[in-house]
Amino acid sequence: MADGKDERRPAGELEASVMAALWAAGVPQTPGEVQRSLGTELARTTVTTILTRLHDKGVVDRHRQGRGYAYVPVQDAQGLTARRMHSELDRDGDRETVLARFVAQLSPDDERVLRTLLEADEQSGGR
């Protein structure tokens, strides 16, 4: 049922269409839902591939829903930066060393913010 013309469009345009569908929906979307709300005829596998790519880039978040994932766009600039840092971490095999180096290179101000955050977490979580 997929239309060959739409499948051959540039990857950037397909990503834009999928991203627009996610934002327009406003609630988490499965690849099937995204496929139905698109104005173009794309195979569901293509939509899934694009969503995975967007997730790797850190512009969408996903969580398990049934046998697959449901996707939501990352809302704010801060969340976006955080997502990007996570995907950089995931890309490196030695996560622990990367984190250790990252913390070692923090500025005093950043360190203070981090400490405050951790303390607040300990008090509220009790762990």
Partner 1 sequence: MIALLILPLLVPFALPALARRALDRLAPVAALWTVTASAVALALCSLAALGAFVLTGLLKLPFFASLGELIRPLHTASDRFVLPLAALSVGGLAVTAWTLVRSVSRQVRAFRAARSAAAHGPAAGDLCVVDSPRPDAYALPGRPHRIVVTTAMLRNLDGSEREALFAHERAHNAGGHHYFLAAAELAAHCHPALRRVRDVVRLAVERVADEVAARVVGDRRLTARAIARAALAGQGAGAPERPAFVPGAVSGPVPRRVEALLAPGGRRAGGWIAALLVACTGVSCVASATGMADFHHRVEVAQGEAER
Q: What is the CA radius of gyration of the chain?
A: 19
Query: Applying CB under 8 A, which of residues 4, 26, 93, 126 lies at the interface with partner 1?
Result: 26
In sequence order, what are the beta bridge partners of 21? none
Nearer to partner 1 (CB atom), residue 37 or residue 87: 37
Of 4, 8, 27, 76, the one binding partner 1 by CB under 8 A: 76
Q: Should residue 46 be labelled a site residue for partner 1 when binding is judged by CB under 8 A?
A: no
Q: Which residues contact 14 (CB under 8 A, 6 or more apart)?
A: 6, 40, 42, 46, 50
Give the interface with partner 1 as residue ranges (CB under 8 A).
10-21, 23-24, 26, 37-40, 54, 57, 59, 73-77, 80
